[in-house]
């Protein structure tokens, strides 16, 4: 059996990497699978990608290089395209997929969420989960379907001081519950064994809720929805391993325990340290410290952001210095020191 990580105290934590919307490439391979091959070569056995047809950032927009995306209108049809079939055939244990209902903005529910929308969300995620459970029934792969940074979606703004409306909060509860019901319905049809599909809610403003008592997905939404998992996009505590550990505990306190994860139903959906803010050695040391806290807490997954940087500091970016430095592989092809963590994970 493959060992997950390099300390005994954290055997349940699997180290992963995100490959979403990077700005450069190195081969003629379709971009989704170029990144997947690079992540696997580094040592990742958990990968986070987008699988979405929303109007904001659909998959064809996020994986454009050397790709001719066919026209599809459902998430299960998108998962059945050659690009995703090739991805899911790769030797990863877990695929974390940011997924949104086709043809709608990711946060459309904030303004209006009708009973018809509710039924459509449930049907959409039941169909996608059914597709994954059927097509990968003879594997032991795990698929996690999640949103992205729910506190921004709840506010409709990237300003953390914006207060969510009661209408938006109530709609988010219903939206997440519909997605969860769809996944649970598909699971019930297939029983146990083979592939596994779970649903997660991602949050990102945990520290603010913990310290200031500010409204949040953690405190105002999660207690009302029995999601399988909660994902923490951990940028509000990246500078303090102590605050990071406290945020994990705060999040776990508000998430309703659900099977099969129980008390370990919180994972780190994004974490890291951009090299534009520190030296490569400092980025490695801080990431190592945060990973150790995730391990100590018993998170099932911790996903490093990310494989190829998606944030430029100059337009158009041309050299390493023109990016913020969210990467395992830099634009010049050199690797970050963070890659050592993946090597240790696979070596045991």
- CA-CA distance, 25 to 310, in Å (whole number)? 11
State the pLDDT at residue 310: 97
State the pLDDT at residue 289: 97
Residue with tokens 């580094």: 42
Is 3 among the domain residues?
no
List, for residues 268-285, the tens digit of each pLDDT value: 999 999 999 999 999 999
Is 250 among the domain residues?
yes
Is 61 among the domain residues?
yes
Is 2 among the domain residues?
no
Is 92 among the domain residues?
yes
Q: Tell me if 14 sits within 8 A of 45, measured CB to CB.
A: yes
| Whether the predicted pLDDT of 347 surpasses 70 | no
For residue 22, the domain's CATH number is 3.20.20.80
State the pLDDT at residue 4: 34
List, for residues 297-344, the tens digit of each pLDDT value: 999 999 999 999 999 999 999 999 999 999 999 999 999 999 999 987
| Whether the predicted pLDDT of 12 surpasses 80 | no
Is 292 among the domain residues?
yes
Q: Which domain, by its residues, includes 43? A: 8-347
How many CB atoms are closer than 10 A to CB 146?
23
Q: Tell me if 263 sits within 8 A of 274, measured CB to CB.
A: no
List, for residues 25-48, the tens digit of each pLDDT value: 999 999 999 999 999 999 999 999
State the pLDDT at residue 193: 80
Name the residue with higher pLDDT: 9 or 242: 242
Backbone angles phi, psi at 233, to 5 degrees: -85, 100
State the pLDDT at residue 7: 36
| Whether the predicted pLDDT of 87 surpasses 80 | yes
* Mean pLDDT for the chain overall: 94
State the pLDDT at residue 11: 43
State the pLDDT at residue 248: 98
Is 224 among the domain residues?
yes
Cα dihedral 224/229/232/233 (nearest 10): -110
State the pLDDT at residue 192: 76
Is 1 among the domain residues?
no
List, for residues 184-216, the tens digit of each pLDDT value: 999 999 987 899 999 999 999 999 999 999 999
State the pLDDT at residue 346: 62
Alpha-helical (H) ranges within 52-112 are 59-62, 75-79, 82-88
Give the count of domains, the chain. Answer: 1
For the record, the structure tokens of 336 come out as 């970050």
**Does 260 sit behind a cis peptide bond, omega within 30 degrees of 0 on the bond before it?**
yes
Task: Please state the rounded mean pLDDT for residues 209-233.
Answer: 98
What is the percent of the chain where pLDDT is above 70? 96
Angle at 218 between CA 9 and CA 170, to 5 degrees: 150
């Amino acid at each position: 059996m493959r060992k997950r990580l390099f300390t005994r105290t954290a055997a349940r934590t699997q180290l992963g990497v995100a490959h979403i919307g990077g700005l450069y490439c190195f081969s003629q391979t379709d971009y989704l699978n170029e990144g997947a091959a690079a992540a696997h070569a580094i040592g990742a056995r958990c990968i986070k990608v987008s699988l979405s047809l929303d109007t904001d950032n659909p998959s064809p927009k996020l994986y454009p290089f050397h790709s001719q995306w066919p026209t599809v209108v459902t998430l299960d049809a998108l998962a059945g395209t050659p690009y995703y079939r090739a991805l899911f055939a790769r030797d990863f244990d877990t695929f974390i997929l940011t997924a949104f209902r086709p043809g709608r903005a990711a946060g459309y529910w904030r303004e209006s969420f009708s009973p018809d929308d509710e039924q459509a969300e449930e049907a959409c995620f039941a169909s996608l989960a059914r597709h994954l459970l059927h097509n990968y029934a003879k594997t032991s792969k795990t698929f996690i379907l999640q949103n992205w940074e729910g506190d921004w979606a709840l506010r409709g703004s990237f300003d953390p001081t914006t207060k969510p409306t009661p209408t938006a909060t109530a709609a988010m509860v219903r939206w997440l519950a519909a997605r969860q019901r769809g996944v649970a319905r598909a699971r019930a049809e297939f029983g146990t064994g083979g592939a596994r599909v779970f649903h997660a809610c991602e949050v990102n403003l945990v520290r603010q809720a913990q310290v200031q008592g500010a409204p949040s997905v953690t405190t105002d939404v999660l207690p009302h929805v029995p999601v399988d998992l909660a994902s923490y996009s951990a940028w509000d505590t990246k500078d303090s391993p102590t605050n990071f550990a406290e945020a994990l505990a705060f999040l776990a306190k508000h998430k309703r325990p659900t099977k099969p994860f129980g008390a370990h139903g919180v994972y780190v959906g994004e974490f890291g340290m951009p090299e534009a803010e520190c030296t490569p050695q400092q980025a490695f040391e801080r990431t190592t410290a945060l990973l150790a806290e995730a391990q100590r807490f018993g998170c099932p997954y911790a996903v490093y952001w990310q494989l190829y940087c998606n944030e430029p500091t100059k337009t158009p970016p041309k050299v390493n210095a023109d990016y913020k430095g969210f990467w395992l592989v830099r634009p010049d092809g050199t690797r970050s020191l963070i890659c050592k963590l993946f090597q240790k994970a696979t070596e045991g």
